[in-house]
Structure 1
Amino acid sequence: MERIRLDQAAQQAVDDYLEYRRIVGDDDGGTLFTPEEYERYKEKVIPQRTKNRLYVSYGVPGGMDCKLIGPETECFCTHRYKEHKTDFKTVPDERPLALPCRVGGCRCVTYEYLPLIGGSQPVRCRCKHTAHDHSEGTGHTCTKCSSSCAGFQSSYTCGCGQPSYGHQTLVETRREREERGLPVGQDVPYVAMGGLTGFSSLADGYLRLDPSGVGPPPASVLYPERSGSFQPHVFEEAYGNTSVSSGQVDEASSTGILQPLPDLRTREEKDMAYFERRYQERLKAERMQRVSASRGSRASSKPSRTLPGGKARDTR
């Protein structure tokens, strides 16, 4: 594979282009703005984009945000969120707010998230056909069995435990999201940021430490032993540790629990420390096995000596 080397000026040019693409998106129509046009575009669009940013999420009404939509997240119509209308001079008052697709020939009237299995495989409808076999228009009727399929509806169960047909794509303003008690992140000039407010926003809702996607979790989650909601581990209960049930875990009791179960990870032990401990335990067991095998072979190879009178004495 050929290695490409760039000097400092070329690296800066690449960074400037990526910054340009994140801000402008497809608004330039495929032709790069001149520096003057680019500056005028930023002066016009960035304040408007900051004021009227739309936060898009996917989840059960009244529940957590199971998926926070970003610029590259695909819609039911297979086009990405950044290819839909996301910038408004004035946010319309009607709800739900429609974000039509801007790709030519697409009949998608609003952005609608479609879950993926394993991150790549789209879910199927109850009629066994994929979303590609359904119309992207209103109703999502099936093009292969339109007589029996009333519209796309999947029995796929989300990580939150609810079926996908119980979820909906929610588009809300900054004020509406703050009223729900969810963070809005920092003001950014980039196009189609959707619901992304932090790095944890990239994870699904049930994998995040909090239901919003950003911000520290409450102390009861970080330090469960300090709250009344502390629940002992099932193995700790099985080994009869009475101090765990009361929420107080001392070093002696936790060591006694883990001695017969070295495969378990303690609360204070990080991932790398755990695997390093298991690796050292395996090396120690292999050394002990080799030592015992070598002792047995040396003992079996020692000859016996003959005592006066014809009796053999074992030298082992």
Structure 2
Amino acid sequence: MQAQAQTRGDVLQGVQQFGVAPGARKMMDMEEEAAQQAIETGLYVVYRNNNGQDCTRVGPSSKCFCGHYYRDHAFATRKSVYPHCASCACRAFAFVPQRPEEVGDWWLVRRKGFNVHTWRAKCRCGHPHEEHDPNTKRCRCGCAVFVSNFACLACDKKWEDHETVFETTQERLAAGRTAGEDFRPLAADGEMRGHVFRGG
């Protein structure tokens, strides 16, 4: 049995020897897609915790609390603060994890018969985000507000300790945050990025 990687060197060796795990590949590809869209449009969308850490890049394939994708949302006007959903009553895109690996439950996908496409982020009431109102976050069961029963893979904080943030290139640079090519996943580690994104 292989020991879990503890250092950057261990991770690099594992990626070189075995490649990227399928779930991690999906997550990294979605982050790369989000970075590419941000670079092209100048609008950076991130899932940020209440300490100011950017935990996830948000892009076209990212899921909203309402159950639809970011690509299904649009800004009503140039002055709109948040994009609303064209397919439901959702008034503001709010990122929610869509894969068990995004909340540290990487082992679930190895269970016989497990279907990653039916997995949903759940509230402590036991119901998934899609059974809560996309605007008030209330559940039909009487639960007053969505309280996550999972934690963020990047920071270990709860979903409600995060917000989805929309920023321009100028706003990010003024705040000392990465933008442009530096916004890409693993941009600060070219060797790792090269192995993860083969030629990236």
TM score, norm. by length of structure 2: 0.59
Aligned to 1:231: none
The structure whose Rg is larger is 1
Letter in 2 for 1:101: C
Asked if structure 2 preserves the Cα contact closer than 8 Å seen for 1:53 and 1:87, the reply is no
Asked if structure 2 preserves the Cα contact closer than 8 Å seen for 1:59 and 1:67, the reply is yes
CA distance in 2, matches of 1:108, 1:53: 24
| Residue of 87, 95, 101 corresponding to 1:118 | 101
CA distance in 1, matches of 2:147, 2:43: 26
Higher relative contact order (CA 8 A, sep 6+): 2
Alignment: residue pair count: 137
Structure 1 runs (4+) greater than 3 angstroms displaced: none
What SS does the corresponding residue of 2:130 show, helix, strand or coil?
A: helix
Shift of 1:83: 1.2
| Structure 2 unaligned blocks of 5 or more | 1-32, 34-38, 103-115, 193-200
Shift of 1:166: 0.9
Shift of 1:155: 3.1
Aligned to 2:188: 216
Letter in 2 for 1:102: A
| Structure 1 unaligned blocks of 5 or more | 1-21, 23-48, 187-195, 201-207, 209-214, 223-316
What SS does the corresponding residue of 2:59 show, helix, strand or coil?
A: coil
Superposed CA deviations along residues 251-298 of structure 1, whole A, max 9, x for unmatched, are xxxxxxxxxxxxxxxxxxxxxxxxxxxxxxxxxxxxxxxxxxxxxxxx
Shift of 1:197: 4.0
Aligned to 2:72: 83
Percentage identity across aligned positions?
A: 29
Aligned to 1:70: 59
Superposed CA deviations along residues 129-177 of structure 1, whole A, max 9, x for unmatched, are 11121122x212111x12xx11111131112122222111111122211
Higher strand fraction (1 or 2): 2
Aligned to 1:179: 174
CA distance in 1, matches of 2:85, 2:51: 27
